[in-house]
Structure 1
């Protein structure tokens, strides 16, 4: 049995973002219970040259919506990248999940050889659809979700592996 480009993309990305949303929910509750200003957690980074929590969430959502839009050849929603609260990050995640889940299997399946070109950090990148999904997007989404998890765990938020993986 084969797996389709849709099955390998949309459900996987939506699940990762839902799990990230749950992790952020626990972080918000943690901050409230311990009287920690939320902006402290949102600005935390693991190392000075790494992005803070807020940017990790922004990049994870950008990667997911970019993938869905590019594979389906539809316009992607844009964000101002100005989220400053847990609630705003939750809205961004929810909007991204709604967008990617609006994409149908017929729009994505068959995109394995589709030419994908983008510019990131001043670098022009070119991929075929399947390599873009499997070798670029999925690792990037999981990297940024994992880094967000690690930042929050480092800050004392009670999280476990099941929070990252989910329980579907």
Structure 2
């Protein structure tokens, strides 16, 4: 079987978010067991000019829900970005996972050449579907999930590589 746009996107997104969900659950348990204020973790930044954990999770979920929607040619759901707790971040991931699981291969396969246009404060970006997935979405989604992992690992949450990689 060849690699298709669907198989290169939705299953990877689902696995990434499921792993991120597990990482957040471990972080919540870590904070509770050590009687830490969870906000010390959810608001933590690796460096002053970097986003805190909450924003890292928000961006990771935005990347994947936006990609699935754009590749399928449907509207991207909008989230308010108001999460501050582990429970709220996990609920956001669950909502995104439910959205991703609605897609079928025939909605996304064949989108390699679909024009994708994004507007950002830095200007307009134009991609083919393939380039959007390979060179924008996947690197961004993994970057923000990795940064979330690193924030928590830096703060003593007992995480290992398998927590990030997830289970097949």
TM-score, normalising length: structure 1: 0.98
Structure 2 portions without partners, runs of 5+: none
Structure 1 portions without partners, runs of 5+: none
**Aligned partners of 2:26 and 2:120: how far apart in 1?**
31
Matched residue, 2:13? 13
Q: CA deviation at 1:100?
A: 1.2
C-alpha RMSD of matched pairs (Å): 0.8
Runs (4+) off by over 4 Å: none
Q: CA deviation at 1:122?
A: 3.5
Matched residue, 1:76? 76
The 5 Å alignment of 1:33-112 reads 33-112=33-112
**Aligned partners of 2:76 and 2:24: how far apart in 1?**
24
Q: CA deviation at 1:126?
A: 0.4
The 5 Å alignment of 1:138-149 reads 138-149=138-149
**Aligned partners of 1:82 and 1:108: how far apart in 2?**
30
TM-score, normalising length: structure 2: 0.98
Q: CA deviation at 1:120?
A: 2.5
Q: CA deviation at 1:84?
A: 1.1
Q: CA deviation at 1:123?
A: 1.9
Q: Give the number of aligned pairs.
A: 168
What SS does the corresponding residue of 2:51 show, helix, strand or coil?
A: coil
> What does the per-residue CA deviation read over 1:108-134, in whole Å, with 9 as the maximum and x for residues that have no partner?
000000000011234210000001001
Matched residue, 2:156? 156
What SS does the corresponding residue of 2:112 show, helix, strand or coil?
A: coil
